[in-house]
Amino acid sequence: MIFFKRLISVLWLFLIFSCIDPNGKKPHVTTPYSLPIPQGFPQPALPNDNILTEESIILGRLLFYDPILSLDSSQSCSSCHNPSFGFTDNGKIYSTGVDGSIGTRNSMPLHNLAWSKRFVWDGAMPSLREQALEPIQNPTEMKENILNVVGKLENQPLYEQAFNAAYGDPEISPDKIGLALEQFMLIILSGGASKFDKVNAGIESFTTEEQLGVQLFNAESNPNGSPKGGDCFHCHGGALFTNNTIVNNGLDSVFTDLGKGGITKLEVDNGKFKTPSLRNLAYTPPYMHDGRFQTLEEVMEFYNSEVRSNSPNLAPGMTGFIQSHSNGSQGLNLSLSERQAIVAFLNTLTDTQIETDTLYQNPFN
């Protein structure tokens, strides 16, 4: 028994000393962060090489809200991704860069990106860490050199402490900046607090109009029959309200923006854009990659009768939106009240937590 106790003591000493750096430094310890998956959501495939920790998330939030990342320290990531607007750009069609340059696409919301595999409207970015660094260096956005950003951060004691807490080393690098920003964006969630989620949880009930909207949303297109359908669920079904595909939804017959085709240089990809989530639509007008629709009513009018049947590379799932019906017109053939019912349902996806959760707010305020 005495031998056994001595053996245990030796093993403990071995474990203790094996965790200490040869130079006498204490081992770096971080606090794991468990992403609170909303009820009904699938498990996300989080990056294995960027495990969520509270320290890295805090650093990412600091960087996200700090205008020091831009050329003249006038703009931060949050300038174009404001939580009060569902992490979009304050109702603007296009964002304005530090020198007044105007972008060419509408700012996308940032919630539930943990379930995405490709990022931005054309899917050009394969990871959030890469996407996080792109606007900083984009000549029409923040217009800064990433190495200049590193230099500026190195002169801030706050960041020396924050990088050390996150990585066990005060050294600042572009890779670490991208990883920290990725962590913060991965934890921005929308789900569980909307009326839709509360109805699913048995806490609230839909109105008659909202219930009709649910039925239309989840029904196949049936322009000449009854019941009718809005055919929305194919691209926007499930708890996430997006299938995260990159497709052409028939906005144009001739493309002024090639979308994915501009990246791949393949004609078959022209006009294809990422399918956004419908959660928090009330916060995120205007709509579509070019912000052409100011209201959800305009969006519904488009899908009801204005989808371009001759649009190249039109997604196969759009066939229900270009059907001809008995009066010679084309589309879903939904009445005004039916379109309004779908809008009423879409408004139940509003989650006020996205703009009030202190986890997402500006730490400098």
Helix (H, G, I), strand (E, B) or coil at 8: helix
pLDDT higher than 80, residue 50 = yes
> Is the predicted pLDDT of residue 175 greater than 90, yes or no?
yes
Confidence of residue 10 (pLDDT cuts 50, 70, 90): very low
- Determine the straight-line distance between the first and last CA of the chain, rounded to whole angstroms: 61
Average of pLDDT values for 13-37?
A: 67
Mean pLDDT of 225-229: 81
- pLDDT of 25: 64
* CA–CA gap between residue 350 and residue 346 (Å, rounded): 8
> Looking at the predicted structure, is the pLDDT value of residue 24 above 50?
yes
Cross-strand bridge partners of residue 247: 273
Contact indicator for 160, 7 with CB cutoff of 8 Å:
no
State which amino acid sits at residue 231: D
User: What whole-number percentage of the chain has pLDDT above 90?
Assistant: 85
Lowest-confidence range among 15-19, 151-155, 236-240, 322-326?
Answer: 15-19
Q: Could you give the CA distance from residue 216 to residue 52 in angstroms, rounded to a whole number?
A: 39
Domain ranges of the chain: 54-189, 195-353
Query: 3-class secondary structure for 195-220?
Result: HHHHHHCCCCCCCHHHHHHHHHHCCC
Q: Is the pLDDT of residue 9 over 80?
A: no
From 1.10.760.10, 1.20.120.1200, 3.60.20.10, 3.20.20.70, which CATH number describes the 54-189 domain? 1.10.760.10
Q: Hey, what amino acid is at 266?
A: L
For residue 139, pLDDT beyond 70: yes
Q: Is the pLDDT confidence value at 15 over 80?
A: no
Q: Output 147 or 354, whichever has higher pLDDT.
A: 147
Determine the Cα angle at 355 with ends 301 and 361, to 5°.
Answer: 145
Kindly tell me if the per-residue pLDDT of 223 is higher than 80. Answer: no
Same fold, 54-189 and 195-353: yes
Q: Please state whether the peptide bond connecting residue 44 to the residue before it is cis, i.e. omega within 30 degrees of 0.
A: no
> Which tokens belong to 197?
């989620």
- The amino acid at residue 220 is E
Q: Residue 198 and residue 154: Cα distance in Å, rounded?
A: 46
pLDDT above 50 (res 279)? yes
pLDDT at position 327, please?
Answer: 67
CATH of domain 195-353: 1.10.760.10
The total of other beta-carbon atoms located within 10 Å of residue 136's CB is 24
pLDDT at 222: 82
Span 306-334, average pLDDT: 88
Beta-bridge partners for 125: 119
Is 12 a residue whose pLDDT tops 50?
no
Residues 6 or more apart whose Cβ sits within 8 Å of residue 112:
188, 189, 190, 191, 240, 277, 279
Contact in structure between 235 and 275 (CB atoms under 8 Å): yes
Judged by DSSP in three states, 125 sits in strand
The arithmetic mean of pLDDT across residues 343-361, rounded, is 93
Encode pLDDT of 77-107 as tens digits.
Answer: 999 999 999 999 999 999 999 999 999 999 9
Radius of gyration of the chain, Cα coordinates, nearest whole angstrom: 24
Per-residue pLDDT averaged across 311-329, rounded? Answer: 86
Q: What is the 3-state secondary structure (H, E, C) of 173-193?
A: CHHHHHHHHHHHHHCCCCCCC
d(CA 25, CA 80) in angstroms, rounded, equals: 41
Q: Is residue 111 over pLDDT 90?
A: yes
Contact yes or no for 346/213 (Cβ under 8 A): yes
pLDDT score recorded for residue 355: 84
Q: What is the DSSP string of 266-282?
A: -GGGTTBEE----TTGG
∠ at Cα 49 (25, 44), nearest 5°? 135
To the nearest whole number, what is the mean pLDDT of the chain? 91
Closest CA to 272 of 312, 299, 307: 312
Beta strands in the chain (DSSP E): 246-247, 273-274
